[in-house]
Structure 1
Amino acid sequence: MNKRTFIKLSSALMTAPLLSPLAGWANGDKLRNWAGNLEYSTDKLALGKDLKQVQAIVKQYPKLKVLGTRHCFNDIADTADQFISVVGAEDFMDLDTKNKTVTVNGGLKYGQLAPYLHGKGFALHNLASLPHISVAGACATATHGSGDKNGNLATAVSGMEIVAADGEVVKLNREKDGEKFNAAAVHLGALGVVTKVTLDVQPTFFMGQVVYENLPLSQLREHFDEIESRGYSVSLFTNWATDDITEVWIKFKTNSGKPLKAMPDKELFGAKLATKNMHPIPELSAENCTEQMGVPGPWYERMPHFKMGFTPSSGKELQSEYFVPRKNAVEAILAISKMGSRISQHLFTSEIRTIAADNLWLSPCYRQDSVAIHFTWKQDWPAVSKLLPVIEKELAPFDPRPHWGKLFTVSPGLLEKRYEKLPEFRELAAQMDPKGKFRNAFLNLNVFKK
């Protein structure tokens, strides 16, 4: 495939519409994840439109898995038995302005919630690269955005309503339930069906973002902390083919939605300020990307990389991501850079972000400020499956924790060592789901060691 054909094909894939869990299935097609690399093991799917319906479905089936917006790249949500989904249930958004929280139904997407909050004068502390994912699903796997002081999306959760294996409703609250809540916030779908989530909110704000091109890796080595502190959220993109970071995306708060009085510096440690909107894959059109060039806009139109009107990650790609302690960031980045062309020929792009520490048991950032090294691969699993063990070996000195919803080959034994609360999480799961109704092959292997 020549470069022109590749770019044309990739552009088409990255503008494909997002499908609901029921789309396709209703027409007789097999259920697949966004990327199409995973065909689910059953097409039996029930929609829980309200709490009573969810309870009835849970009581009906001995084995069950919750299917969200299908953005996981591995089989963490798969089952050969029966699916339930709350995506597509009636929208529910209850804003408590006094306590600065909002309660939503579990299937609601961030792209639906964010404009509502902004219109009411409130905001979330963080968003992922995509606004198309469901609130409950994103929090279940500790999906994250970026920022030295920003925790992952699950750190905004202050309350949950879960339908447990017996069909009964369990309500958990951060203040009242302490460590039990910290155990359940990132639950990997092992505890039940999350029907409502309560999130902390804050006063709304405006942001701008700029992009710098071609940051020398030598400068990143010397000035990593300074670069990461330049904005509210910072993302570094590279394909590891050269000795530089291809793009540095800096998202910063502004006082209002008015144009900036002065643009940021034209140079950042040798990187040049972009003079046009950029895509994380430089060859692709930035049409799908959120506005850059310092143009101010609401927080939810700048924190994600991509606009809600497009679905850039429904194309043929694979994803992996590893979290290492922030203190080891530069060493880990340099370790990967040594693999150079061996990685780049199989990549679309790689993104590096920082995330603040938290107290959520199964979060990759549990009790450690972290740096996440993300890989968006071309959809060639035979090649990627050979690369992942090599990458994991290079990162091994830093005890990398893989993203639960992406592709990895880290052994269950190493997961046990790196996620130190796994044994205690199993105890909670045994209480809420004693017969393993919500377990599947992925959970049995990686969490319950069966």
Structure 2
Amino acid sequence: MQERVTAGAAAGPAGRNWAGNLAYRAARLHRPTSVAEVQEIVAGSPRVKALGSRHCFNDIADTPADLISLDALEGDVELDAPGGAAPGVAWVLGGTRYGDLLPELARHGWALHNLASLPHITVVGATATGTHGSGGRNGSLSTSVAGLDVVRSDGELVRLRAGDADLPGAVVHLGALGVVTRIGLRFQPTFSVRNNVYLGLTWDRLLADFDEVADAAYSVSVFTNWHEVTQVWVKSRVDELEVAPEEFFGARSATEPSHMLPDTPVENLTEQLGVPGEWHERLPHFQLGFTPSRGEELQSEYFVPRAQARTAVGALRALAGRIAPLLLVSEIRTVAGDDLWLSPAYGTDVVALHFTWVPDEPRVRALLPAIEEALRPCGARPHWGKLFTTSAGELAGLYPRLGDFRELVRRFDPRGAFRNDYLDRTVAAHV
């Protein structure tokens, strides 16, 4: 039986996660102001985990003893810029949210290559779980990582940098290696983006021209309830496309701002209707100062090789009658492949199949095995930070470097201080 902390459980001092479906059990919540304090807490705790923005929907950050929030760490963003238009590296503290970093980069004329749909999440939490944005040429947020400072379980600070053999295994680390106190992100010159929303795309046209649709702009998101395609968000770089077309594969351009969730105010969305804006003002779906999406929701997501896109979409459409009653919206996006050991895009370009659910965890969990069974022939990998029931045995078959990751965990955490129920049932990191 899978153990998990539910909304009915007693919460420790850390309270609950963002969605409210999980109560953290930790006896203590620490907010250190220095790396030395982090080292002392980690070395002295029998079980310890780092806590980010709490935007995970499962117990990946849960532990019975000590939680560490890094939002009080003292220090500034450090920009290592070589000069000219050459890319550089931004070094930020472990508790930094994207929404705090983005204006600082933009102020200096720099940009990240990709962003998630919301800027509310921490850089470390997003990259540690393989979180992504969209775009067939764009790798996940994790592919920006140029280095990590990690406090391992004996309290030693380990610095991993580009070229270190362990870095590709440590970027998507699921909290199993230690507490990341500083992270480096590669940046590039700034760019402008426009977002155009299109209505009326048919399934026949999407599936017939899937690659062309997905690659039509810098970032493309297809929204659906699995009965029909409801919207397509097309985010194009202004320097690559001067004017957005009025028609998109037979779909018509929206004439007023549109929310992907029915009957939901558009105030929390980034600007649409093709109005150009800086990269950080358009690539996310949601604005930092507002509750993203609906707030009261659960999420799941599965990644399949891009070559399996049509098969996977067909399998989910066959389940539309079971999915729709629990669904707020689904989103279909593409992500470029990478070489990060536990990245859902490891070794292949992928299609991300995202589900935003109504906040009814028992019914959602009861449905997930049917979705996973339908996607199993496509080699679906679940998002590490969202709801799924895929077993450790099946995950081992989906990640060729999982054995290497387990060995990395044993070197960084020989005493099992970062071990928890989540790691035991997913990657069996200490086996």
Whether TM-score is above 0.5 comes out as yes
Contact 2:133 2:335 (8 Å CA) reproduced:
yes
2:274 is aligned, of 284, 288, 294, to: 294
Residue 275 (1) aligns with residue 255 (2): yes
Alpha-carbon shift at residue 433 of structure 1 (Å): 0.5
Structure 2 stretches of 5 or more lacking a match?
1-10
Aligned twin of 2:191: 205
Letter in 2 for 1:63: R
**Deviation digits for residues 140-192 of structure 1, max 9, x if unmatched?**
101100000111111000111011111111000122x13x1100011000001
Normalised by the length of structure 1, the TM-score is 0.90
Alpha-carbon shift at residue 311 of structure 1 (Å): 2.2
2:100 is aligned, of 95, 102, 112, to: 112
Residue 404 (1) aligns with residue 417 (2): no
**Deviation digits for residues 207-238 of structure 1, max 9, x if unmatched?**
10100012100111101111111110110111
- Map 1:225-374; keep pairs closer than 5 Å: 225-240=211-226, 242=227, 244-255=228-239, 262=243, 264-313=244-293, 315-374=295-354
Aligned twin of 1:224: 210
> How many residue pairs align between the two structures?
416
Alpha-carbon shift at residue 255 of structure 1 (Å): 3.5
Aligned twin of 1:21: none
Contact 1:162 1:169 (8 Å CA) reproduced:
yes
2:41 is aligned, of 57, 77, 90, to: 57
Aligned twin of 1:89: 73
Tell me: CA distance 1:61–1:313, structure 2 relative to 1, closer, same or farther (3 Å). farther
Q: Distance in 2 between matches of 1:279 and 1:91?
A: 38
- Map 1:113-262; keep pairs closer than 5 Å: 113-175=101-163, 177-178=164-165, 180-240=166-226, 242=227, 244-255=228-239, 262=243
SS at match of 2:148: strand
RMSD: 1.6
Contact 1:231 1:252 (8 Å CA) reproduced:
yes
Residue 444 (1) aligns with residue 424 (2): yes
SS at match of 1:215: coil
Aligned twin of 2:393: 413
Alpha-carbon shift at residue 48 of structure 1 (Å): 2.0
Q: Distance in 1 between matches of 2:153 and 2:116?
A: 30
Aligned twin of 1:14: none
Q: Distance in 2 between matches of 1:424 and 1:167?
A: 23
Q: Distance in 2 between matches of 1:394 and 1:117?
A: 42
Structure 1 stretches of 5 or more lacking a match?
1-24
Tell me: CA distance 1:106–1:376, structure 2 relative to 1, closer, same or farther (3 Å). same
SS at match of 1:335: helix
Letter in 1 for 2:67: F
Contact 1:104 1:198 (8 Å CA) reproduced:
yes
**Deviation digits for residues 360-411 of structure 1, max 9, x if unmatched?**
0000000010001000000112211121000011111111000001111111
Letter in 1 for 2:154: D
Tell me: CA distance 1:149–1:417, structure 2 relative to 1, closer, same or farther (3 Å). same
Alpha-carbon shift at residue 29 of structure 1 (Å): 6.9
4+ runs deviating over 6 angstroms: none
Letter in 2 for 1:198: G
Contact 2:257 2:272 (8 Å CA) reproduced:
yes
Letter in 1 for 2:395: L
2:369 is aligned, of 389, 409, 427, to: 389
Contact 1:364 1:401 (8 Å CA) reproduced:
yes
SS at match of 2:167: helix
Alpha-carbon shift at residue 442 of structure 1 (Å): 0.6
Q: Distance in 1 between matches of 2:276 and 2:262?
A: 23
Letter in 1 for 2:53: T
2:23 is aligned, of 23, 26, 39, to: 39
Contact 1:69 1:87 (8 Å CA) reproduced:
no
Letter in 1 for 2:324: S
Contact 1:35 1:313 (8 Å CA) reproduced:
no
Aligned twin of 1:4: none
Moved more, 157-166 or 309-318: 309-318
Alpha-carbon shift at residue 261 of structure 1 (Å): 6.8
